[in-house]
Structure 1
């Protein structure tokens, strides 16, 4: 691509807001696709990957859950293979372990069989198992039937983010919280940080995760959604020998959450979770973290109440498991009968940036929106880390096209 400079002085060609794995993958993809393009990344934290990227179960998802033809399905399947290759190339800790999805009740069997079909439509190898065959993979797990998905794995996503930052060649500014955006379609975008720095760019990419809707509004765009934060709470298993790899329940198709699952990580420890409860702040990693302005924004969004009206029974169960370790243990014992309440040790929680539409619909696919001089990533929860390399390329393609259009 030939770089065309306008007469207006810019500090960079593309400004990326957000130093999580999607933002850093976008910066990496831009410099690969268009060498010489000047990219700056602004991240409000003192280092990369401090929120969704660094606070998840570390699973490389196969793509089996996602609707064929959706961005999630395409990017997860492609991204899983690319993530394993990237980790191998750069010496980042990873393992392709495979996983079990286990039906523990007869009512779940049709949904399990539907997942088999969905996996095959997405080009994912799946092995169907009877109840007795589960022990071949997980001797302590019990169920009526299961499927084994061989392409699932685990990796160090924080390590991936750091490597992307180093390899991108972008200027990365940490501690740079964006407080104002001045967009002029004929001139570009100027961003002011809380420290008073001003960065001028020809185009901008909004990869702000938990704050992406707020950044969109700073540009003057209506994102037509709100981020409603859901906290996912995890426990560590004090007897990790009970679990060999990854074990998931059959998910409820009405929700984008996968339920409480068992994950042996790259460090050999086993994490159990997450549940999904409303967070009282965008970065509300515990019940004691309350930010009134952010909570008021969540409660003031009509979609929040419409979502709650539809799904309050599901939410009540999640809340019960959040407040009661005994209730959480009961849920785990459906898959792992040998677990005891004192085997569970509470560990770090994460927060999912879930986009909710005005009508209360939970956005189920990645949501990318283009406006003059700006590309917004408005919904990129799991499997965004798995899919970050193809997502980054797609966003890079869009923003580079915007640059070409503005210089014609």
Structure 2
């Protein structure tokens, strides 16, 4: 039997050495890293959409995170600090729109001051340049921002992650196949994998790397693995500030522990329900990216400049339950649990947001 199997291995013809599923920034950076580390390795990337970065990579705030919030010594902290520096270097090397704007984390309530001071210590332990500011000093960085105190994080920035993804695709030297949704995966020990796409194409590879983003649990099951979990995505909604000149860089206002409520010159406001049902005010960075790219319409009034968290709680609660009704159809017990959570959101409003955001 072993001789037969060895003969099959020798006779197998592979279309590539490594097959990456997913054409977002994770999949494309994986292809890029493999070809850099092992020149001559044949890499193919399968992406179901007609182009790169069509999901999470192209639909986020565009922030280059400093790592200030992460526990010192943790992988998150180390990767964020090193990754921020490498991202800026990559953008500069390839002429990709980016800016190291820095970020203000502002305490607007006395209860937030101890947490703000803790972030100072955490940032410094992570090797991040952090400056403590009094209420009056805040206006040195942001004349329109008011608060009791703040810290300025020097390494936070913004970039065009779609352009980053495109450049990774070009620089990787990998074969990128768009419109190639994975339909079946045949995985055999010692023989590698064979993948069939929706269009009927079959590719054989020695190794498969799953970079399917929000669909990676489904891809894992196609390979025969059981990830033991199911990804339930939630949509975020963004608006642009009518007056993006109100802020110069990135600003995190209130609830300083979370760090998810950034205001940028870009000017988008978002309310998101995440896996932990976190509700917050997000301000994104689309206008800044347009301005960096020379778009004369960057300052157009395309939406409301502000949104109250409490006014969004009803919408987010319905969003949560609506998604779960679709995803968990037939699981009455779980759905009932989230219906109760919805009622808690509606009843408690901002109190819930402050407690759990």
Alignment partner of 1:43 out of 10, 31, 47? 47
Q: Is the 8 A contact 2:22 2:47 kept in 1?
A: yes
User: Once the two structures are superposed, what CA deviation does each residue of 1:306-358 show, in whole Å capped at 9, x if it has no partner?
Assistant: 9959976895599x79xxxxxxxxx9xxxxxxxxxxxxxxxxxxxxxxxxxxx
Separation (CA, whole Å) in 2 of partners of 1:152 and 1:276: 24
Distance 1:28 1:248, change over 3 A: same
Does residue 114 of the first structure (1) align with residue 111 of the second (2)?
A: no
Map of 2:203 onto structure 1: 199
Question: What's the TM-score once normalised by structure 2's chain length?
Answer: 0.76
Instruction: Give the secondary-structure state (helix, strand or coil) at the position aligned to 2:17.
Output: strand
1:213 maps to what in 2?
217
Alignment of 1:33-112 (within 5 A): 33-112=37-116
Q: TM-score, normalised by structure 1?
A: 0.67
Whether the aligned pair in 2 keeps the contact of 1:259 and 1:273 (CA below 8 Å) is no
Which residue of the other structure, out of 136, 145, 152, is the alignment partner of 1:132?
Answer: 136
Q: Which has the higher contact order (CA 8 A, sep 6+)?
A: 1
Aligned counterpart, 2:176: 172
Change (3 A) 1:308 1:132: farther
Once residues 214 and 73 of structure 1 are traced to their aligned partners in structure 2, the CA distance between those partners, rounded to angstroms, is 29
1:9 corresponds in structure 2 to: 13
Q: CA RMSD in A?
A: 3.3
> Are the aligned partners of 1:249 and 1:259 in contact in 2 as well (CA < 8 Å)?
no
Alpha-carbon separation, structure 2, partners of 1:163 and 1:307:
44
Number of equivalenced pairs: 303
Asked whether the equivalents of residues 111 and 250 of structure 1 are also in contact (C-alpha less than 8 Å), the reply is: no
Label 1:106 to 1:160 Cα distance change in 2 as closer, same or farther (>3 A).
Answer: same
Structure with the largest fraction of helix? 2
Q: Which of 7, 23, 27 is 2:27 aligned to?
A: 23
2:263 aligned residue: 262
Q: Deviations over 1:211-258 (max 9, x none)?
A: 0111111111111222121222211001111111100135575xxx64
8 A Cα contact 1:100 1:148, kept in partner? yes
Which of the residues 186, 192, 206 maps onto 1:188?
192
Structure 1 contact 206–215 (Cα < 8 Å) conserved: yes
CA distance in 1, matches of 2:117, 2:341: 25
How many Å apart are 1:205 and its aligned residue?
0.7
* Partner secondary structure for residue 235 of structure 2: strand
Is 1:240 aligned with 2:244? yes
Task: Note closer, same or farther for the CA distance 1:7–1:67 as it changes in structure 2 (3 Å cut).
Answer: farther
Q: Deviations over 1:343-384 (max 9, x none)?
A: xxxxxxxxxxxxxxxxxxxxxxxxxxxxxxxxxxxxxxxxxx
Pair 1:298–1:149, CA change in 2 (3 A): farther
- Shift in CA distance, 26/163, structure 1 to aligned 2, threshold 3 Å: same
The change in CA–CA distance for 1:317 and 1:151 in structure 2 (over 3 A counts) is farther
1:270 deviation in Å? 2.1
Q: Cα distance, 1:72 vs. partner?
A: 1.7
Contact 2:116/2:256 (8 A) holds in 1: no
Cα 1:218/1:224, change in 2 over 3 Å: same
- In structure 2, the CA distance between the partners of 1:173 and 1:142, relative to structure 1 (3 Å rule), is same
